[in-house]
Amino acid sequence: MKANTSIFRTSILLFILLLSSGAFSQKQLLNIEDVQKRQYYPKSIYSTQFIGNTDNFSYTKDGKTLIIENGKKNQTINIDIEEITPRPLSLFAIEYVSDSQFIYSTKENEYFSYNIYSKKTKKLFSLPKDALFVEIEPSSKNVAFKENDNIFALVNGKKTQLSFDGTKFLVYGETVHRNEFGIDKGLFWSKNGERLAFYRMDQSMVTDYPLVNTSERVAQLNNVKYPMAGMASHWVTVGVFDTKTSNIVYLKTRKDETIEEKEMYLTNIAFSPNGKIVYIKKLNRLQNHYWLEKYDAISGEKLGVLFEETSKKYVEPQTPIIFLPNNPKEFLDLSQKDGYNHIYLYDTLGRELKQLTKGEWMVNSIAGFNSKGDEVFFYATKDSPIERNLYGVKIKNGEIKKYSSDNGWHNVAFNSKGDLFLDTYSNYDKVYSKTQLLDKKGKVLKIINESEDPLKDILKPQIEISTLKTKDGTELYYRMIKPHDFNPNKKYPVIVYVYGGPHAQLVTNNYLGGANNFFMFLAQKGYIVWTIDSRGSANRGYDFESAIWHSCGSVEVSDQMEGVNYLKTLPYIDSTRIGVDGWSYGGFMTISLKLKNPKVFKVATAGGPVIDWKWYEVMYGERYMGTPQNNEEGYKTSSLLNYVQNLEGKLLVIHGYQDATVVPQHSIEFIKACIKHGKQVDFFLYPDHEHNVMGKDRLNLYEKIYQYYKENL
């Protein structure tokens, strides 16, 4: 008896020692301050790319060390940032210009080439420290940039000023049309660097919108040009600079000088392979008709219209044409004209030669070609609407092959021959972040990086992705995040996170199903976090996304309510404690759901909400809503000012005071309407932030939202 007692005491002692030494680790809960910490997100590699026409590839983990490997041999080179003189800003943004060299910049805005084998650097050029929108043509090393409101070209070391009258009213070399239509820059080099196309935007006729900087001793007015729906829009032209003659011509894109012609959208600029022709997709302001036009880059004369597209609702050109690498007489174009975004092959006379991809799925983008030029690589939703995979299609026969491995969300780099693939991906249920080298048959040659679960020491909530059908049979994808200690016999409050508008998809088969650690934190606090991609959202085809046309806040609200009604059928949902949260279009949806469905949502938090579409900008707003003049009823039914009388429960409205996307007028007028109707509403302002709250202040936003639900839901 005594011996057994001694053994028992010894076992207890060993157990205590093991526990105290960390042999048994106890899983923790996320704290609110943890949700943005890098350690709780997958460890990935960055800037993954093949080098020139070789089988070598490079990547970095931290921006300070460049790792170079061979795709078919066991060879590795490590280059530390300190080895490179002068020191690069980082190794994240290097660009290879040959099989052995990349270009980098320093903090002094000097640009160098670096040879990865000889370890030698060569200075290419220097730019002014305040140079912006730098655009380098890799083969010629010609450079275009903006300085003091005007644009310059640096050719063979000679600096040439291309504009002289630039102001905030007359804008050169920047994105135009408020970054819509796939436009993300304003300077475009031809392939050989011989010519530069640039945007010129006259916005002097556009109404000023007053934003206010309150950090000064006396608050300062900051007027921004903001073209509201139905009001005057800016006028855009395209100039072309010839590096050999130094001549500048402006393309003759207007038939006349009417307002209708001046307000045309000039989108998706592309040069012909020889740089002598400029192609532009010109779109009318109503956005229901566009023309692919070609212009002489030397004279500026219009050479003709290759083809045009129309729609009863809207057409939305998003990408420039892409010429086949070995055939200057044929090009590819992306279009939704059959209901889904697909690749079409044309010749330079505008004749459609064939549709390369077809089906009830979307091509996300064209990624490039193999060196033979007979296969096009592209990203698409072919396997699933919530996945992104890389495929190749043979131009000759339309044969399609998948090149990314496993299910999930993929980013793939490939070598020039198109027979080696660096596939970086994740999915929501088993792969956190993984990069592997594949051959053309899909065989894994090497695992480059594989992240362990960054939440392995956290009591992790449960993620479920599935679908439900609406009453009319439309299938919708949803994501449900349940608490880590979920008990089906308990009742849980729900926070619905919503967006519901175009160009966005919230439910995806990637890490956390497209969610973030704030949602995981909320689930750990006992909430079920629910999201559904309603009609109006992206990657489900033209009819699905355009269902909101001329009536925002209708079908997408109905779809969201189908999701809520499904939740109410579940025995573990507390239907008296449902909240809804969203930002931007999601803020509009949040308040729409709250006001149009009284007593369903106990609490709502809306950030940067659109309240009335007549205060939103021309390009996006008119695409989906038309103008207040031609869609009076649609603007009336979508305006949340007309539903304020239905407000009950708790609503928190949040806005950035420097928001030039959804201007503060939306929230201010909503509050004014609430006062008029005797309704109580909570409001919080971020004085220095624009359309979203970023950086360290985002933690303050998370705390604000969490506390609001904690106190009221």
How far apart (Å, rounded) are the C-alpha atoms in residues 594 and 592? 5
Q: How far is CA 484 from the centre of its chain?
A: 30
- Calpha distance 580→578 (Å, rounded): 7
* Dihedral in degrees, nearest 10, Cα atoms 249, 255, 259, 260: -120
Gap between the Cα atoms of 182 and 498, Å rounded = 24
The yes-or-no answer on residue 25 being catalytic is no
Active site residue 177: no
Distance CA 473, CA 543 (A): 14
What is the spatial distance between Cα 516 and Cα 505, in angstroms, rounded to a whole number?
A: 14
Asked whether the beta carbons of 170 and 202 are under 8 A apart, the reply is yes
Q: Which of 690, 546, 661 is nearest to 178 (CA)?
A: 661
Give phi and psi for 448, each to the nearest 5. Answer: -85, -40
Of 433, 659, 666, 667, the catalytic one is 659
Residue 348 CB neighbour total at 10 angstroms: 17
- Is 234 marked active-site? no
For residue 359, give the amino acid letter. G
User: What would the DSSP string read from start to end of 509-559?
Assistant: SSGGGG--HHHHHHHHTT-EEEEE--TTSSSS-HHHHGGGTT-TTSHHHHH
* Catalytic member of 44, 113, 534, 584: 584
Distance CA 633, CA 528 (A): 37
DSSP state of 644: G
Question: How far apart are alpha carbons 26 and 657 in whole angstroms?
Answer: 44
What is the rounded CA–CA span in Å between residue 647 and residue 594?
7
**Residues 655, 586, 549, 543: is their CA dihedral positive or negative?**
positive
Tokens standing for residue 448: 């480059």
SS3 642: helix
Of the candidates 551, 549, 409, 385, the residue with the CA atom closest to the CA atom of residue 475: 385
Contacts of 244 (CB under 8 A, 6+ apart): 194
User: Do the strands 444-450 and 434-439 form a parallel or antiparallel pair, or are they unpaired?
Assistant: antiparallel
What is the spatial distance between Cα 576 and Cα 557, in angstroms, rounded to a whole number?
A: 19
Please give the positions annotated as active site. Answer: 584, 659, 691
